[in-house]
Structure 1
Amino acid sequence: MPISRIAIGRPQEVTHPDALKAALAEFISTLIFVFAGEGSGMAFSKLTNNAANTPSGLIAAAIAHAFALFVAVSVSANISGGHVNPAVTFGAFVGGNITLLRGILYWIAQLLGAVVACLLLKLSTGGLETAAFSLSSGVGVWNAFVLEIVLTFGLVYTVYATAVDPKRGTLGTIAPIAIGFIVGANILVGGAFDGASMNPAVSFGPAVVSWTWDNHWVYWAGPLIGGGLAGLVYEFFFITHTHEQLPTTEY
């Protein structure tokens, strides 16, 4: 049972050099991802005279986020596991693949990375505002809440299938691109409704820098519930732990 493997961890864990290196890797990879993803939207808006909310803008956002996440996961996979997302970290925690204390360390690094990325974007673009996530016209808050759960479930389920499952074999080599692809595809699905965050850090960075918090809880609650459900479902139904648990660094 995955719940039986949930662990708090020891305080010494968060000060261990390996854990600090992993947190630094999460900070840098999240910074890379948010800078490219959020920056692509700002660039498209500038080039199209603030017309980013168009079909072409949605496609551009999907491609930019897919490519950026592929790189962000790849460059940190061998150090921290390439979570780049508090929802992925939470899904790993409820599945017993990371301790609570190490997960909190990852969360701090991811959120800081997103905030720094948005600050750098504002600084390097001459003060352009980073756009906080918001609901489209006609989309209710509970509609967006359910959408974020479903989209994030698909993302974290993909992470488990390609990166966590001990039976993944050579499939693990394409995990970063599979994870990037599912995010790009999900943006094409949900981007027109609520922005398709799937990642509390991606929502948190722009919200802090622009100080816009409308319906912000949706972009935390939805992804965390979706990620947690994906971790539990995959661990409970598809993973049989008959051998030594995989180290977190290999996750």
Structure 2
Amino acid sequence: MSGEAPMCEVDLGGGKVKETNTVGRCRVSFYERYIQPCMAELLGSALFIFIGCLSVIENNPNAGLLQPALAHGLALGLIIAILGNISGGHFNPAVSLAVTLIGGLNIMLLIPYWISQLFGGLIGAALAKAVSPEERFWNASGAAFATVQEEGQVAVALGTEIILTMLLALAVCMGAVNGKTKGPLAPFSIGFSVIVDILAGGAISGACMNPARAFGPAVMAGYWDFHWIYWLGPLLAGLFVGLLIRLFIGDEKTRLILKAR
């Protein structure tokens, strides 16, 4: 009917909602639901990886793993608190994979999220290189992961990356996505999981837990030795966490929500 407002159908991940709206407002809604989250992932990833890389490049040797652990964890919690309501605050391809598998992210956004996170990693690492003294940058391998130096370390490092990333992905899925368990302290819980992971496993694998965090510094420093560990380990962990939550909790109990944005 000519007097009836057009219907705007929006896919929220867990289902479709029809909104009576004008064409212009439908376009804004599409932007807010699809473009804006990717921009938030790009910005958040760039900020997180910039701070993380600087914490490694400028690390005081006497501080050991404490400085990078605190910088990564506190930065991630803060950035999630700032941008989480726009994109979910993943900033990590492995986390996005886990959240998608349990129904908390529209599958159409998975690849755009990955691309945004990887480009964010490049931007963050490039900014860290730009502001760092050249000698310190190269002494720290540009904050690329250089912990694994020989084949004999690969199996242990890969297993460590899987376990550490599972803890991080569980903190996100159960603390920020699952309708029955999520709470307002999720950003801090996720940040603390990163701190704990780095303190526990940093000396074994580097405790990357994030392909975007590995990719940006590797490009800037040209350091690719055993780089595949930091893709395979975290992505396997995201896959395992997604399957575990679906198996033991089930779709009807998770009540996974993507808020209308």
TM-score by length of 1: 0.84
Task: Find the residue that maps to 1:173 and give its secondary structure.
Answer: coil
- Out of 188, 193, 197, the residue aligned to residue 186 of structure 1 is 197
The 3 A distance-change label for structure 1 pair 156 and 248 is farther
- Structure 2: distance between partners of 1:197 and 1:87: 11
Contact 1:80 1:248 in 2 (8 A): no
Structure 1 vs Structure 2: percent identity of aligned residues? Answer: 36
2:143 is matched with which residue? Answer: 131
Q: Does 1:118 align with 2:89?
A: no
Output one character per residue of 1:87-118: Cα deviation in whole Å (capped at 9) or x when no partner: 00011122222233301111111111111111
- Structure 2: distance between partners of 1:23 and 1:236: 29
The 3 A distance-change label for structure 1 pair 209 and 249 is farther
- Out of 148, 166, 177, the residue aligned to residue 153 of structure 1 is 166
Q: Determine which structure has more spread, i.e. the larger CA radius of gyration.
A: 2
The 3 A distance-change label for structure 1 pair 243 and 110 is closer
**2:47 maps to amino acid:** I
Alignment of 1:1-12 (within 5 A): none
- Structure 1: distance between partners of 2:40 and 2:109: 13
Output one character per residue of 1:216-238: Cα deviation in whole Å (capped at 9) or x when no partner: 11100100111111122123212
The 3 A distance-change label for structure 1 pair 125 and 95 is same
Task: Find the residue that maps to 1:193 and give its secondary structure.
Answer: coil
Q: Does 1:69 align with 2:76?
A: yes
Output one character per residue of 1:51-106: Cα deviation in whole Å (capped at 9) or x when no partner: 4xx6x220111111111111121111110000011000011122222233301111
Q: Does 1:241 align with 2:252?
A: yes
Deviates more, 1:74-83 or 1:123-132: 123-132
**1:109 maps to amino acid:** S
- Structure 2: distance between partners of 1:249 and 1:75: 17
The 3 A distance-change label for structure 1 pair 227 and 248 is farther
2:92 is matched with which residue? Answer: 85
Offset of residue 136 of structure 1:
4.2
**1:131 maps to amino acid:** A
**2:93 maps to amino acid:** P
The 3 A distance-change label for structure 1 pair 81 and 6 is closer
- Out of 34, 38, 41, the residue aligned to residue 49 of structure 2 is 34
**1:162 maps to amino acid:** G
1:203 is matched with which residue? Answer: 214
- Structure 1: distance between partners of 2:126 and 2:149: 28
Offset of residue 249 of structure 1:
6.0
Name the Cα RMSD after superposition. 2.5
The 3 A distance-change label for structure 1 pair 245 and 40 is closer
- Out of 151, 155, 166, the residue aligned to residue 142 of structure 1 is 155
Question: Where do 5+ consecutive residues of structure 1 fail to align?
Answer: 8-12
Output one character per residue of 1:183-231: Cα deviation in whole Å (capped at 9) or x when no partner: 1000011100111000110001100111111111110010011111112
Task: Find the residue that maps to 2:202 and give its secondary structure.
Answer: helix
- Out of 210, 227, 231, the residue aligned to residue 220 of structure 1 is 231
Output one character per residue of 1:138-180: Cα deviation in whole Å (capped at 9) or x when no partner: 7611111111111111111111111111112xx5200000000
- Structure 2: distance between partners of 1:231 and 1:119: 32
1:94 is matched with which residue? Answer: 101
Task: Find the residue that maps to 2:235 and give its secondary structure.
Answer: helix
Alignment of 1:43-62 (within 5 A): 43-44=58-59, 48=60, 51=61, 56-62=63-69
The 3 A distance-change label for structure 1 pair 42 and 244 is closer
Contact 1:135 1:141 in 2 (8 A): no
Contact 1:41 1:57 in 2 (8 A): no
The 3 A distance-change label for structure 1 pair 16 and 6 is closer
